[in-house]
A and B are shown apart, each in its own frame.
Chain A
Amino acid sequence: MNSSTMDKYFDLVMKTAAADQTEIVIYTESSALTRFSNSAIHQNMAENNSAISIKSISNGKIGTAFTNKTDDRSIIDTVKAAEKNASLSPKDDDFKTLPTGKAVISTNGYIDDTAKASPGFRADVVADIIKLTDKHDLMAAGSFSTTAGLIGVANSLGAKSIGKITEANLNLVIIGADSSSYAEFYDKDVNNLRLESMVNKAIEKTLLSAGPKKVEPGKYDVILEPAAVADMLGFLAYSGLGAQAVREHRSFMNNNFGRRLISPLVSFWDDANDPETIGLPFDFEAVPKQKVIFFDKGIAKNVVYDSYTANREGKTSTGHALPAPNTFGPVPLNMIMKAGNSSIEEMVDSTQKGILVTRFHYTNFEDPLKTIFTGMTRDGTFLIENGKIVSGIKNLRFTQSILAALDKVEMITKDRHLVKAFIGSCLAPAVKISDFNFTGVSEL
């Protein structure tokens, strides 16, 4: 599918639609993923898919329907199904209108070499990883995926945006007898992969964490690398940084706008147009995405809006609508944390006794208002004593308020890393935090 095919579908839907307002989202994607473990490829796949989603509104009643059958008959049936669903809905008095807005056509996020990456190319990258790990008798596990997508959004009020995008993502775990490490590459351009240095750093970390000691749970100074920081910001993003969460009083931002909640060293925002991130410049209502600052020098500032939540409050959409139907409201997808001026080496130097964490595993909220979450460390947890990493340690469980942790940020690195999140991404630095609450330890 290309832009002109999309226009054909837009025209067909608009010609068929009988509703007061109609929105159409079309996406087409070619993706491939090569997965490896025990230093061999064990799963290897590719997928081609296209799909169309319709939202119909008549007399304030909203219905949606979705299909991945792209023949004319199926599309017409889907429009009718959305209209039928709308007819059965009660009127939503808070719905005002779909957005109008100017057209956005974007190809900045698309790199041809990423789109054309072959199974042989992906296999060669995995082979190169294994050559490096074999030298140290270490095992490699991970996945290498390449994706090309085209997304178009249009509505009957004339809004229309089309964007082309690519993604390359390599995640890597290097495993020793009793230790492991993690590294990730996430970029629109597969050519930016610096494989050898990425793998060698991870190898060094696996070797350094061999023979892990057991440390007792308690409060420690902690250095969190970017993957762990991104995990924390991701929880804040989906649980409390959207207007719907605030409206429903389930956001930690409620009653706190304008107040300092976290360290003045910390600022973070959403910005899909930042060249260091990956993202479409428009949302799933075709609205151009705005930069939205959530915390500025520790002070709670704003949340993101889609057209529904913005119209309800007399505001303007910030371009953060998710695909319909969406009961969760708008969510930021391109989180960015402001860089500091430090380095991980300087953080380690400054630490009398502390713990360095590569990444978290299986984190989950216990209290979204107090932002208390729990999870485990994974793939490289180290003990720091007297300004030096002295050994790897067994993985620890933490039970900790995210906002309380961000209030105790003492240092932030200059370097940031783009981390692929559960949805969207996060450009995150490493941070040093005092009094991080570890509550348990793994036996293995």
Chain B
Amino acid sequence: MKVILNEALNQASIQGAAYADVRIVETLLQSLSVKNGKLEEISYNLSSGFGVRVLYNGSWGFAASNILSKDEAAAITHLAMDIAKAGNSVQKQKVDLTKAEAVIGHYKTPVKIDPFSVPLEKKIDLLLQTDKILRQDKRIAVADSGMFFIRKKIYFASSEGSFIEQEIIESGGGISAIAIKDGEIERRSYPNSMGGQAQTRGYEAIDDMRLAENSERVRDEAIALLQAETCPSKITDIILDSSQLALQVHESIGHPCELDRILGDEASFAGTSFLSLDKVGSFKYGSPLVNVTADATIPGALGTFGYDDEGVPAQKTYLIKDGVLTGFLTSRESAGQLGQTSNGTMRADGWNRSPLIRMTNINLLPGDWNFEDLIADTDDGIYLETNKSWSIDDKRINFQFATEIAWEIKNGKLGKMLRRPNYTGITPEFWSSCDAICNDKYWTVWGTPNCGKGEPMQVAHVAHGTSPSRFRNVQVGVGR
């Protein structure tokens, strides 16, 4: 490995790069999926290669190859330099990296059970078991059970003297049942939709999910939804469960706080942000109860690592404190705009992508409510659970989410089940209407392994810690 790292850095230096870094990444993915009694996926996916990033006369160049050899390292570094030089002709401002300490470091995800040591037979048995329970009623048209495991080894070296080795291990899984009757379709998922829960943990994460024990409830709720009343269209108080709130945080706080979006880098694709640099320290993002951190150090969370892909150590920082915007997610290139150094959020989707500012674990800190007390305190409202769909505009201000299921709240009690619930709002108005957040007993960090951004598209694995929370006067039942 070191031969390739050294060759790339040497070649970059010889050719006049002001800065260079090189990453070798090897990712092993094992995924299994059972659908309707069949093992539809059992795969072993190995991807490895290296990427060289150079800064020449204030312009970036990045090139990558799957061939791990000294000669290829030299050739790819030449290509990265050619790309950077071409960029010099269309430059408005030279890239100026803020300082970062050179790091010699090592990080490995702590796991109790190496997921790759668990026999495939055991994994398949569990998925077939859950599938069997999910399909015990003929109204279930599609039963899905799946799990995945990732081992990612990253070797990073920079021209400033950093050398970092990391091994990130992820485990994820979940189940879902789709019930269909008379042109109606309803889905229930556990522990979350879009494949379930994902964490930087070992196979113990799968054991803790108790997938089989939750299959019957998932099946029965999907079927019950077929007969449930449709969520009415009205303005009302809503309580979001922690998994739906995690996606709300993701879309309406995490993405708008990415400094590259704010600076316009994503203008043509993912979009920009309604936030601006001058809003830091004064903009009222939400009610005083709203405190949000970016914390890449939470044990077991999917957005946890040792160092980002610029070699900056994982950090915890506040984005919102007592409802006021206090900071952004930054990189070495962008942090200077705030007079700061990077808070360590630059990550790349593998060896063949240049790092971008990505969410880590973006968390709505817990409040002090018990969930039962929160329901009891709500006279008239709706409790919504588990995301079904999401949409937000390119400035992250107008959102609409649908969830799989909801329950009416009447006079402080959960009432009848509601189908097709959705809600819409305007980001700062919505967060300003937050008047209750449940305590740490209900706080869960939800993995989001499908966060897309950038061109070419990059998918980041991030997470959000949340507990159920209440929002006043929200429009539900949109489009009825």
A26-47 interface code vs B (CB 8 A; 1 in, 0 out): 0000011111111111111111
Of residues 171 through 187 on chain A, the ones whose CB sits less than 8 Å from some CB of chain B are 171-173, 175, 180
Cβ A85 vs Cβ B44 within 8 A = yes
Interface size on B, residues (CB 8 A): 84
In the assembled complex, B414 has its CB within 8 A of some CB on chain A: no
A68 in contact with B38 given A44-B61, A143-B269 (CB within 8 Å): no
Q: Give the nearest-CB partner of A370 in chain B.
A: B183
| A260–B143 CA distance with the chains assembled, in angstroms | 31
Of residues 64 through 88 on chain A, the ones whose CB sits less than 8 Å from some CB of chain B are 64-70, 74, 78, 81-82, 85-86, 88
In the assembled complex, B35 has its CB within 8 A of some CB on chain A: yes
A48 in contact with B41 given A40-B93, A376-B393, A443-B397 (CB within 8 Å): no
In the assembled complex, B282 has its CB within 8 A of some CB on chain A: no
Cβ B92 vs Cβ A38 within 8 A = yes
Cβ A90 vs Cβ B424 within 8 A = no
Cβ B65 vs Cβ A48 within 8 A = yes
Which one of A208-216, A222-230, A406-414, A434-442 is at the B interface? A434-442
Q: How far is the CB of A106 from chain B (nearest CB, A)?
A: 24
Interface size on A, residues (CB 8 A): 93
| A250–B271 CA distance with the chains assembled, in angstroms | 32
A45-56 interface code vs B (CB 8 A; 1 in, 0 out): 111111100000
| A88–B44 CA distance with the chains assembled, in angstroms | 13
Chain B residues within 8 Å of A364, by CB: 389-391
Cβ A68 vs Cβ B389 within 8 A = no
A63 in contact with B42 given A33-B455, A443-B426, A444-B395 (CB within 8 Å): yes
| A66–B43 CA distance with the chains assembled, in angstroms | 8
| A398–B76 CA distance with the chains assembled, in angstroms | 46
A122 in contact with B86 given A40-B91, A361-B394, A376-B393 (CB within 8 Å): yes
Cβ A68 vs Cβ B183 within 8 A = no
In the assembled complex, B113 has its CB within 8 A of some CB on chain A: no
A68 in contact with B66 given A361-B393, A439-B424 (CB within 8 Å): yes
| A257–B59 CA distance with the chains assembled, in angstroms | 56
Cβ B66 vs Cβ A48 within 8 A = yes
Cβ B420 vs Cβ A366 within 8 A = yes
Q: How far is the CB of B434 from chain A (nearest CB, A)?
A: 18
| A141–B266 CA distance with the chains assembled, in angstroms | 8
Chain B residues within 8 Å of A89, by CB: 39, 42, 124
| A374–B399 CA distance with the chains assembled, in angstroms | 10
Cβ A39 vs Cβ B92 within 8 A = yes
Q: How far is the CB of B153 from chain A (nearest CB, A)?
A: 14
Chain A residues within 8 Å of B400, by CB: 374, 397, 399, 439-440
Cβ A365 vs Cβ B389 within 8 A = yes
Cβ B49 vs Cβ A369 within 8 A = no
| A70–B144 CA distance with the chains assembled, in angstroms | 33
In the assembled complex, A118 has its CB within 8 A of some CB on chain B: yes
Cβ A119 vs Cβ B49 within 8 A = no
Of residues 360 through 399 on chain B, the ones whose CB sits less than 8 Å from some CB of chain A are 388-395, 397-398
> Which listed residue (A45, A68, A130, A361) contacts B46, Cβ 8 A?
A68
| A51–B87 CA distance with the chains assembled, in angstroms | 30
Of residues 120 through 156 on chain B, the ones whose CB sits less than 8 Å from some CB of chain A are 120-121, 124, 128, 141-142, 144
Q: How far is the CB of B207 from chain A (nearest CB, A)?
A: 20
Cβ A43 vs Cβ B389 within 8 A = no
Cβ B479 vs Cβ A44 within 8 A = no
Cβ B87 vs Cβ A41 within 8 A = yes
| A123–B141 CA distance with the chains assembled, in angstroms | 52
| A372–B266 CA distance with the chains assembled, in angstroms | 28
In the assembled complex, B204 has its CB within 8 A of some CB on chain A: no
A397 in contact with B456 given A40-B90, A120-B86, A365-B389 (CB within 8 Å): no
> Which listed residue (B142, B268, B388) contacts A366, Cβ 8 A?
B388
A327 in contact with B40 given A33-B455, A41-B87, A123-B87 (CB within 8 Å): yes
The A-B contact count (CB < 8 A) is: 271
Chain B residues within 8 Å of A250, by CB: 141-142, 178, 180, 185
Q: How far is the CB of B439 from chain A (nearest CB, A)?
A: 32
Q: How far is the CB of A172 from chain B (nearest CB, A)?
A: 7
Cβ A43 vs Cβ B60 within 8 A = yes
Cβ A44 vs Cβ B62 within 8 A = yes
Chain B residues within 8 Å of A41, by CB: 59, 86-87, 90-91
B235-270 interface code vs A (CB 8 A; 1 in, 0 out): 000000000000000000000000000011111110
Cβ B267 vs Cβ A175 within 8 A = yes
Cβ A49 vs Cβ B65 within 8 A = yes
Cβ B184 vs Cβ A369 within 8 A = yes
In the assembled complex, B117 has its CB within 8 A of some CB on chain A: no
Q: How far is the CB of A46 from chain B (nearest CB, A)?
A: 5
B74-110 interface code vs A (CB 8 A; 1 in, 0 out): 0010011011111101111100000000000000000
In the assembled complex, B162 has its CB within 8 A of some CB on chain A: no
In the assembled complex, B478 has its CB within 8 A of some CB on chain A: yes
Chain B residues within 8 Å of A69, by CB: 46, 48, 66
> Which listed residue (B60, B121, B183, B391) contacts A374, Cβ 8 A?
B391
Q: How far is the CB of B356 from chain A (nearest CB, A)?
A: 8
Chain B residues within 8 Å of A51, by CB: 47, 66
Chain A residues within 8 Å of B80, by CB: 46
In the assembled complex, B422 has its CB within 8 A of some CB on chain A: yes
> Which listed residue (B85, B354, B392, B455) contacts A143, Cβ 8 A?
B455
| A395–B438 CA distance with the chains assembled, in angstroms | 35
| A126–B59 CA distance with the chains assembled, in angstroms | 15
A442 in contact with B393 given A50-B66, A66-B45, A175-B267 (CB within 8 Å): yes
In the assembled complex, A429 has its CB within 8 A of some CB on chain B: no
- 5 closest cross-chain pairs (CB), A and B: A399-B479, A119-B86, A40-B92, A141-B267, A376-B393
| Between-chain CB contacts (< 8 Å), 21 pairs | A32-B83, A33-B456, A35-B265, A43-B265, A44-B84, A45-B61, A51-B47, A67-B46, A68-B46, A68-B66, A88-B121, A119-B83, A173-B267, A250-B178, A376-B391, A376-B393, A376-B398, A397-B393, A397-B398, A439-B479, A442-B398
Chain A contact residues, CB within 8 Å of chain B? 31-51, 62-70, 74, 78, 81-82, 85-86, 88-90, 92, 94, 118-120, 122-124, 126-127, 130, 139, 141-143, 145, 171-173, 175, 180, 248-250, 255, 325, 327, 361-370, 372, 374-376, 378-379, 395, 397, 399-400, 437, 439-444
Q: A51-B47, A399-B479 are in contact. List 7 more A-B contacts (CB 8 A).
A: A42-B60, A44-B86, A46-B63, A127-B89, A143-B269, A327-B41, A440-B398
